[in-house]
Amino acid sequence: MSTFITANEIISITSRHGFVLCGAASTDPLPEFDRYLDWIKAGYQGTMHFLEDPKGMKSRSNPEQLFPGSMSVLVLGARYTIDRLTESPFPLSGRIASYAWGKDYHDVLQHRAELVMSDISDSLGKPVENFVAVDSSPILEKPLAKRARLGWTGNNSLLIHPRLGSFFFLTNIFLKEKLDPIFNNLYGSCGTCHRCIDACPTACILPGGLLEARRCISYLTIEHRGIIPVELRKSMGNWIYGCTICQAVCPWNRKPGNNYVLPEFEAADERVIFPDLVEIVHLSDDEFKSRFSGTSLKRLKRSRLVRNAAVALGNSGQLDAVKPLGWLLENEPDPVIRCHAAWGLGQIRTSKARTILSVRLTREIDSSVQSEIRQALDLP
């Protein structure tokens, strides 16, 4: 029996601070690391080279390496809003993934985990050494959550809980204590279902719960810097930050239990979910920082968000998209953004769009943008 506080006390404390899932896992080496290594060797991580960092590899293989001396991990889950993929009520609007509708989850979960540890320390009457890992730490979160019996890896590679589905964040608290088991009645599987595989616009979901991240819309809109591959742009639709399609179609997310969402993660209004693409295009760096301060989008930087907005404008096919795309092509100093503006105009293909492209071609000095304009005009 552990000398730490009981499992029931831990559940009471964590639920008090908004966590709807709670489990305990050891920090023993993870057998799933070999599968992760194969994923890296296949190049599925794309340009996310931080996932290949040798130091990070050590803690992904052996979680104890992240917080030396740790014996257990308290694995917590916090709900964010289920995205039903409702249609936007606004013209020329983008779409934001639901996990980014509210405040930056890194900050929120870090703060709430610290409150959990403060209460645990008070209960024990002494400080408790710990390390909180939220998303960005080099650990294999899902295998740890599976070890804590919080779910299974779905076909879409996400952790799925039988009552909560997959719309929740994970938070890990490393402790130099041995925790008693926390019972979680885990049942269910994906079975023969393949709805997420069929629904993915870019076909990035591979057999066996593998994700080819370099094709994933979330990767393309957030992690990928530079020019988005032409063959994937059309499939991005109006997503400008993340994507939840593979979650929205999952049967386990149809009628999940415990829909309590932390207030910090709720959208203030519909414009958070469906931002005006024309406004996004015209944001200055300072305006971007001011508008998205305190949210996950602040990590994206203006350049990638405007690039994504240019793709979404092109995919809209709307005549009203020609003016903002033309403005970008003419005034935007970043050639990467101009490339996507040219592509967007090429998707609309009106005489006005073609005129803007033709005029710009006569004075464009960047070779990549020149190439995009030529392709948009069907020129050799």
Length of the chain: 380
Q: Token match 């591959």: residue?
A: 229
Contacts of 193 (CB under 8 A, 6+ apart): 155, 251
**Is the CA virtual torsion 124, 128, 133, 134 positive or negative?**
positive
Q: How many CB atoms lie within 10 A of CB 69?
A: 10
| Contact present, 173 and 179 (Cβ < 8 Å) | no
Q: What are the angstrom distances between the C-alpha of 79 and each of 50, 129, 136, 259, 271?
A: 27, 26, 18, 7, 21
Report how far residue 309's alpha carbon sits from residue 239's, in angstroms, rounded to the nearest whole number: 8
Strands 239-241, 168-175: pairing is unpaired
Report how far residue 62's alpha carbon sits from residue 57's, in angstroms, rounded to the nearest whole number: 8
Q: Which of 38, 83, 104, 135 is catalytic?
A: 135
Tokens coding 330: 């003419």
Q: What is the residue type of 123?
A: S
Known catalytic residue: 135? yes
Report how far residue 380's alpha carbon sits from residue 375's, in angstroms, rounded to the nearest whole number: 7
Strands 210-211, 205-206: pairing is antiparallel
| Contact present, 204 and 213 (Cβ < 8 Å) | yes
Q: What are the angstrom distances between the C-alpha of 4 and each of 17, 131, 176, 295?
A: 19, 16, 10, 35
Which positions are catalytic?
135
